[in-house]
Structure 1
């Protein structure tokens, strides 16, 4: 089960470049949206800007955490630094929730203290933001959204940004046509709720890994049944699974047998059929 490390290294370097471009684009977009929001008086545009800024920060933190996570195990960190990315996800998700809650309160306060809104500025800035969001979503997807929780989170955020930009465009259009300023409040709350929702999902997922909960895809009963059938094991006394990061599953297995068992064969079987990267096995002979 060898790996092409040189190919992986090249892919990761390319991925890092794509993510760096996504960070720069998101920061520039944030500046443009804040300026547009201030001049137009639209809180929903500033809400979308803060969402974009949180995305840029999330991608940057993910890049730093990835570099830390690639450091090998040593005398002080026996399992390596893989959970650096999980800690980054925990931080990013907590920040998303805080920003979302803050924006809800700000939108309500703004509604009771209304300011004039320039709908045309809102529409044009949000339209530019939509294009940029689609580009950054593409970059983050290409950078490895299928293989990393951090990068997947960034991808989801950029997709949600695109959706938020559409909401802001609709709000700006209604303000231009009908002077329905309340739609700015509604748009802000919708964006905020969406941000909070994804923040809670990421927070829950990262906390599960840090608390060493069994992976959601891991089925104790199925693994036990398969092992007993495949290797004629009399009894599986204990099986405990956990994750060091969002990509690898580890387990500790205690079995009871009467005969000599090829433990390496069991490890390979668990790797190939249940995606268990590493397994510690104790055989208690009956």
Structure 2
């Protein structure tokens, strides 16, 4: 029943993403046409931002489908990290778009062009409605997914940008302040770059198998060493296989050597790791107190020096 519920939830999520892609793609086309007809660079800038949103949603949808594939002999941990790779692609693309907008805006400073204010206001008003609708479609899913959260934030920023474009178009109609279009373009580009660079470190950290946010190795070792029968813990590695999927490996030194004691210690450690740090996958190597810890690097070093690994 739980699996069926999860499948239905994922299906609903996919349908929401497809709907969001459709409205964003349509909006992008309308904004580009409106920007060309009106001569508004800020409207084209907002269109490019919307296009990056639509592309990010497409990538997120594909990544979600790939990520559901079960582990196999080729990918023993499964395919869930595909969503993190998709997030990296989306963020890099977003940064490129932001830099391009700055380039175009600087060109307009030296070669101003006439702008049709009413076209800007009408198209940007439609864009605002679509952006709000898309944000509503992706809000629920954004709570548990880095990809969808990025897409949701993109739509929120698009909505804010659309508000700004309406304001710029109004100022052009009322006062003929054409420079507001260029200034707004620079503001949109700045926001896009800030958004991209703020999310990029977290994505790279996950791909580099860094420790999950909020988890300290010292705290993990401290909790593990409180377990009855554990003398010490070393060679600790903790990382995220995928978003919300934490893994750990460690060497655990114990005193007692009976099989029941070893199994008890392992069970208690795995329970503590899950309850305290939500570690789903843990690999624990049990060592006896006083024994010499041997790992692959030491064996390789000894082999290169002509020594026996024992």
What TM-score does the superposition give when structure 2 sets the normalisation length?
0.88
Cα distance in 2 for partners of 1:230, 1:50 equals 55
Aligned residue among 132, 135, 138 for 2:136: 138
Which residue in 1 is equivalent to 2:39?
Answer: 41
Which residue in 2 is equivalent to 1:87?
Answer: 85
Aligned residue among 266, 269, 282 for 1:266: 269
Q: Please list every run of 5 or more consecutive structure 2 residues that lacks an aligned counterpart in the other structure.
A: 290-310
Aligned residue among 285, 288, 293 for 1:285: 288
SS at match of 1:234: strand
Cα distance in 2 for partners of 1:204, 1:231 equals 39
SS at match of 1:244: strand
Q: Please list every run of 5 or more consecutive structure 1 residues that lacks an aligned counterpart in the other structure.
A: none
Cα distance in 2 for partners of 1:120, 1:30 equals 18
Which residue in 2 is equivalent to 1:14?
Answer: 12
Q: Runs ≥4 in structure 1, deviation > 3 angstroms?
A: none
Cα distance in 1 for partners of 2:55, 2:239 equals 28
Whether the aligned pair in 2 keeps the contact of 1:90 and 1:202 (CA below 8 Å) is: no
**How much does 1:179 deviate?**
1.3
Aligned residue among 198, 222, 241 for 1:225: 222
Q: How does 1:187-226 map onto structure 2 within 5 Å?
A: 187-226=184-223
Change (3 A) 1:42 1:285: same
Aligned residue among 229, 243, 247 for 2:244: 247
SS at match of 2:226: helix
Aligned residue among 167, 171, 189 for 1:170: 167
Which residue in 2 is equivalent to 1:153?
Answer: 150
Which residue in 2 is equivalent to 1:4?
Answer: 2
Cα distance in 2 for partners of 1:165, 1:116 equals 20
Q: Give the superposed CA RMSD.
A: 1.4
**How much does 1:181 deviate?**
1.3
What TM-score does the superposition give when structure 1 sets the normalisation length?
0.95
Cα distance in 1 for partners of 2:237, 2:169 equals 54
**How much does 1:224 deviate?**
1.9
The count of corresponding residues between Structure 1 and Structure 2 is 283
Stretch of structure 1 that moved more, 229-238 or 117-126? 229-238
More relative contact order, 1 or 2 (CA 8 Å, 6+ apart): 1
Stretch of structure 1 that moved more, 118-127 or 153-162? 118-127
